[in-house]
Amino acid sequence: MPIVAHNPLPTFAHLRAAGHQILDPERALHQDIRELHIGLLNMMPDAALEATERQFFRLIGQSNQIAQFYVHPFTLDALPRREAAREHIRRYYQPFSRIRADGLDALIITGANVTGPDLAGEPFWEPLIEVVDWAWANVSSTLCSCLATHAVLQFRHGQRRRPLGEKRWGVFPHRVVDRSHPLVGTVNTLFDVPHSRFNEIGRDQFDAAGLPVLVESPEAGVHLAVSADGFRQVFFQGHPEYDTISLLKEYKREVKRYEAGERPDYPPFPEGYFTLQSRAILDEHAARLRTALAQGRKAPPLPEEHIVFRLDNTWHDTAEGVMGNWMGLIYQVTHSDRKLPFMDQIDPADPLGLRRRRPAF
């Protein structure tokens, strides 16, 4: 079933206009279907705040047909915001105190932009730990995206992310390495995932922390891993929620930074993303831009109209499948009143009965 538009958040209107099924709350009340309440801790910077909402809302809404999804966005007061973003949050987000009081079936934590090498020095560090610790005790499962994965690996498992030296940026092929897990048992065994990061947690670090790896890539490293019990925490390092044009927008932003003198080198292409023809067009643009800057003329605009229609999305279907499997597992282990069954009905060390499952081939 679709996401329920339970408040006036503009993301609902954007998704409806794009053809996605969004359910009116009055109609939702008259359907005898289980609700799932999903929290979205959105830590992304102002420029990506609403886009990140739409990406995760869409992925959730398209993932599964067994429930009505109520998605509750919130953020951390410690994150610096400009006035427009603060107003958006004030109007449409809930405070964590309300989230904590009402409860959730599951939680998604996005990535964030950081300025220093040590995550423990970031202003969001202590508030994020509070949310993650609360979710561990009170929410059936938490999905950590990118930097959120790095933060949890550091404060819960003592594994600090490592700098890559240069940005890992592009769309990379990945392989399922443990098909017995229900998160990946029904998806393609080989699929693409976008990445965009300067740091990583390596396979050896996941192994040292006792966190089973489900999906990895020779070029991009680990993408998907889970907590030792197989479910309570799910870790992404890639960005399966990305839109088709997300990396193009990042590339455009880096070109603008070069144009403004904020980076000394012209940005490289994201790997595995642009076609050969698109690369030729963008190389020509780079030459024109350098000439314009050298002559003191206005820089030409990036020729996006000649690039967009050549972009392919080779990751969304599998991302939808993994998200749908996650939602299905959440549905199985939660009650309609959102009280966790772990304590008295399910082995907390094996909530999904993974040790009793036969491999899914």
CA 51 to chain centre: 11
Contact 263, 251 (CB under 8 A): no
**174 φ, ψ (degrees, to nearest 5):** -130, 155
Please give the biggest Cα pair distance in the chain.
Answer: 73
Side-chain half-sphere exposure of 212, counting CA atoms within 13 A = 19
Other CB atoms within 10 A of residue 190 CB: 12
Bridge partners of residue 171, in order along the sequence: 194
Please tell me the distance from the alpha carbon of residue 140 to that of residue 131, in angstroms, as a whole number. Answer: 14
What is the C-alpha radius of gyration for the chain, rounded to an integer number of angstroms? 21
Please tell me the distance from the alpha carbon of residue 162 to that of residue 265, in angstroms, as a whole number. Answer: 23
Bridge partners of residue 271, in order along the sequence: 170
Other CB atoms within 10 A of residue 251 CB: 22
Q: Which residues are catalytic?
A: 146, 239, 241
Residue 7: name the closest of 63, 65, 53, 59 by CA. Answer: 53
Please tell me the distance from the alpha carbon of residue 86 to that of residue 91, in angstroms, as a whole number. Answer: 9
